[in-house]
Amino acid sequence: MSRVVTFGEIMARVAMPGFARFRQAMPGVVNLTFAGAEASIAASLACLGVDAAFVTALPDHAVADACIDELRGLGVETRHILRTSAGRMGVFYLEHGVNQRGGNVIYDREGASVAVTPAGAYDWNAAFAGCEWFVVSGITAAISRTGADVVLSAVREAARRGIKVVCDINFRTKLWRWEPPLDAQELARRTLCGILPYVTLFVGGASDAALVLGIGPDDDLKALARRLCTRFPGLAHAAFTLREGSTSLVQVFGGALYDVAAEELHVSPRHSISHVVDRLGAGDAFTAGLVLALMEGRPGAEAVAFAAAAGCLAHSTEGDYHRGSRAEIEALMLGDGGGRVSR
């Protein structure tokens, strides 16, 4: 099977217990895990049996050691992670949403090792050995100018080697602050438009595609996808997560995949989720599922159905990493979503 490499920031995730607000939970006992979009994608792929490697920069201390230990325990290759004397481990604080109250994230990422480590510090010749797919996201480009420069350098290196490049846009309104007075949307648009010419597979929401194109919302998803792929002719596919929610805990999740060669838009079944355990990481599981399905040569409709089932199941797992099995995803694809006990 093909080797997949992902690059991005990994952080300490500090979640409040249950549905407590920040000011209720602290001081007190909180739940610390590790998280980051690209690490989450690598972990999901590794759990599905893929040869997956994660590249980042982390400070040289015991907490970062614990972070790397967990990735290794999940089967992710970590030998290309840089250990640095400059920078720190980023942190984000999470307050879970419940009922009509949405979740809330507070970022503390400035000066993170991956945000200050220059592109020349990474050995892409070694990291890309045997690699056929490379995954980045807009999040790492959003944290600093250096982060954006590294992402651009890495996708250029990957494209030069004929590696398929995946970019999960993941626009975050609380980031993209590193070039004032540009607002977050304009800075994201300018930066991502420099990265996307090297990308094979676009992943995001419809709003992410509209952001990149500098247009308003478009209800015609196929027209939006066609417009995106015309603007960036290196794209072979454009994938979209589709989400609706009546409350924080009741969601409907699915996805769509536009195939440029066939000029077809495939839309997955929509999965009704009546109790969200943890929403974070669902989009990463979708991306990982889609990459795996395309690696295996599955047709478009089947590929996006597999990805949507993976994203749906990620809502049932606490933490950012989706630890579900291929058998569970395949079963949900075939309509077994009743939650019966396996005995």
pLDDT in tens, 93-115: 999 998 899 899 999 999 999 99
How confident is the model at residue 228, as a pLDDT?
96
pLDDT tens per residue across span 166-217: 999 999 999 999 999 999 999 999 999 999 999 999 999 999 999 999 988 7
Percent of the chain having pLDDT more than 70? Answer: 97
pLDDT tens per residue across span 257-272: 999 999 999 999 998 8
What is the Cβ-side half-sphere exposure of residue 330, based on CA atoms within 13 angstroms? 7
Lowest-confidence pick of 67-71, 79-83, 211-215, 305-309: 211-215
- What is the distance of C-alpha 288 from the center of its chain? 8
If you average pLDDT over residues 319-329, what whole number do you get? 88
For residue 340, name the pLDDT band (cuts at 50, 70, 90): low
Domain holding 37, by residue range, is 3-333
With respect to residue 288, please indicate whether it lies within any of the assigned structural domains: yes
Count: domains in the chain: 1
**pLDDT at residue 1 greater than cutoff 80:** no
CB of 292 closer than 8 Å to CB of 49: no
With respect to residue 260, please indicate whether it lies within any of the assigned structural domains: yes
With respect to residue 339, please indicate whether it lies within any of the assigned structural domains: no
With respect to residue 341, please indicate whether it lies within any of the assigned structural domains: no
Give the CATH number, domain containing residue 322: 3.40.1190.20
Pairwise CA distance, residues 91 & 88, whole Å = 9
**pLDDT at residue 128 greater than cutoff 60:** yes
Q: Determine the length of the chain.
A: 343
With respect to residue 340, please indicate whether it lies within any of the assigned structural domains: no
